[in-house]
Amino acid sequence: MSGRLQNKIALVTGAANGIGAATARLFAAEGATVVLADIDEAAGAALAGQLGMHFILADVSCEAQVERAVQATVERHGRIDCMVNGASIVGAVGSLMETTAQAWRATQGVLLDSVFFGIKHAARAMREQRGGVILSVSGIAGVMGGLGPHAYTASRHGVIGLTRSAASELSQYGIRVNAVAPGSGMPKEEIAASLLFLASDAAPHVTAHTLVVDSGHTAGGFASGASVLRDRPVAFMGPSGQRAVQAAEGQP
């Protein structure tokens, strides 16, 4: 039985560590030929060697280097079926009033500009071949606020917005554009599996979507049972139901 990405060509940025590395491993295990790109040459080249794949040194905050990575992938393999924008840092953390413009721009360079560059240049290649999948890693900071990582939060919102707008333009070329928003501490292999689903033929009509993987954190509590309604009796809240709720709680 063939893998879910059999004969597919994928470029993964941020592939030396973390989610990017987990994604490169899983995609390769599922039959894809993976090109790994990262600024960490030692770790990236080592993982590529383990997988029997190709590594490209790239600073994703530089458009020319992202463009070169896409072009090198196409030149080496003839096409690019999936682009994964996976590079990530925490970036500037602290009071918005004390954040410097330099720290702000450096954070956006890795977390948002790189996604724009990846979508732009992968889309150009995929337009010629009439199809492909572009995936980006955002985070739950993209669907909620945060206490301190303002630059990070802004970038994560930006990735989700760009995913939606890019999908609307690129659908005419058969290109699907999606994102994954991991919660803090989520298993990297689970995030990689989410990217695998979106990259595969199992999701042919999924586009402009952000898949949140966070154990229910953004829903107001964790799936383990943090809800304030846990172990509470069921009651109807309405014009005549308030008394029933009070009675269930032992109130007069």
Question: 194-231: buried (b, 16+ CB within 10 Å) or exposed (e) per residue?
Answer: bbbebbbeebeeebbbbbbbbbebeeeeeeeeeeeeee
Beta bridge partners of 37: 13, 56
- Cα 82 to chain centroid distance, Å, stands at 13
CA distance 210 to 89: 20
CB 99 within 8 A of CB 92: yes
Burial class (CB in 10 A: 0-12, 13-18, 19+), 59: middle
Bridge pairing between strands 175-182 and 132-137 = parallel
Q: Which of 152, 159, 177, 199 is catalytic?
A: 152
Q: Which residues contact 147 (CB under 8 A, 6 or more apart)?
A: none
CA dihedral 130, 198, 207, 181 (to 10 degrees): -140
Contact 39, 60 (CB under 8 A): yes
173 tagged catalytic: no
Cα 70 off chain centre by: 18
Which residues are known catalytic residues? 152
